[in-house]
Amino acid sequence: MSNKDDWFIDWFNSKYYHILYKSRNKNEANDFIKNIISNLSLNSNETVLDLGCGNGRHSISLSKHFKLVDGIDISSENITLAKKNKIENLKFFISDMRNFDTKTKYGYIFNLFTSFGYFKKNEDNINVLKKCNNHLKKDGLLFIDFLNSEKIKMTINGLKETINFDGIEFNIHKKIVDNYVVKTIEIVDGDLTFNFQEKVQLFKIEDFKEMLGISGFELLSSFGDYQMNPYDLNSNRLILCAKKLAND
C-alpha cells in the first residue's frame, strides 16, 4: 500500500475502480466537450492537455476537436486502458500532476471530472496549478470541472448506498470530515473484502480564486453544469475557466 494520503494510487489502479465507474457515459463526455468549445469559441488548431485523464474518456472527445491531445494520469492501469485507443493525434503518459513535465506548451489544459483537491497539503494543489501555468502558452486557458462543495455540504453527509455489479457488492458511505468529502467503499467479492476511499477537499469558488491568483491565473467565468449554465450555490458542478496572466 502507498502512503494513506495518496489514496488515489491504490484505488485508481484497482480493477474494482473500473468496475464501479464503468457506466460513465462517453456521450456525456462528448456533449460536455462540445459545449465548452462552442460556449467559449475555442480554437481547434490548438494542442491541449487532459490532466488526470483516467482511462481517456474525455481525451478521446478532445482528440476529435483539437489538433493534438496529451493525456496524463498517475494510474498505470488507467494509462494502459487509455493506450488501447489508437488515435493518431492522441498520446498518453503516466505522471503525477504535481510534478509533470511534457516539454510542451498548450493552448488549453482540461482538468475534468473532479480530478483536483486530492492532496493533504494545499501547497500540492498550488503546485498542480503552477505546473499548469508553466505548460500554457501566453493567454492559455485552464478548465477545472469540480464538485459543488456548497451543494455537497447540504446534501451528502452520512449518505449510504449499496451497488451490485456482476455479483460484486459495493457498500458506499459518504461523509464530510475536516472539510473533505470522504467516500468509503467496502467491496465484497465472494469471500474477499476490500476497503478503499476517495477523499476530495471541499473547495469553494472563493478558494479557487485565491489559489488561481497565487498560481498566475485570472478566473474568467464559472458554470454550474455540463450544459454550461451559470454557477450558483445549488448547481450540480463548479466548472471554472481561468486565463494565464502575462508575466511581468
pLDDT in tens, 54-78: 989 899 999 999 999 999 999 998 9
Identify the residue whose cell numbers are 493552448: 107
Please report, as a single letter, which amino acid is at residue 105: K
Q: What is the pTM of this model?
A: 0.92
Identify the residue whose cell numbers are 456521450: 27
Give yes or no for a contact between 133 and 217, defined as CB atoms under 8 angstroms apart.
yes
Q: How confident is the model at residue 25 (pLDDT cuts 50, 70, 90)?
A: low
pLDDT tens-digit readout, 114-131 = 999 999 899 999 999 999
Please report, as a single letter, which amino acid is at residue 216: G
Among 14-23, 105-114, 180-189, 203-212, the minimum mean pLDDT is found in 14-23
Paired sense of beta strands 168-177 and 180-189, if any = antiparallel
Helices 205-214 and 122-134 cross at an angle (nearest 10°) of 60
Q: In the structure grid, which three cell numbers stand for residue 17, read together?
A: 475502480
Q: How confident is the model at residue 82 (pLDDT cuts 50, 70, 90)?
A: very high
- Give the pLDDT score at 96: 95
Distance of CA 174 to the CA centre of its chain: 19
pLDDT at residue 27 is higher than 80: no
What the chain holds in terms of domains, given with CATH numbers, is 4-148+203-244 (3.40.50.150), 152-199 (2.20.25)
Give yes or no for a contact between 176 and 154, defined as CB atoms under 8 angstroms apart.
no
- Give the pLDDT score at 191: 95
How far apart are the C-alpha atoms of 115 and 100, rounded to whole Å?
15
More confident residue, 35 or 30: 35
pLDDT at residue 1 is higher than 80: no
- Give the pLDDT score at 30: 87
Q: Of 54, 37, 55, whose CA–CA distance to 46 is shortest?
A: 37
Q: How far is CA 69 from CA 46, 78, 89, 97, 237, in A?
A: 9, 16, 6, 16, 24
% pLDDT > 90, the chain: 80
What average pLDDT does the structure give for the chain?
92
- Give the pLDDT score at 2: 44
pLDDT at residue 5 is higher than 70: no
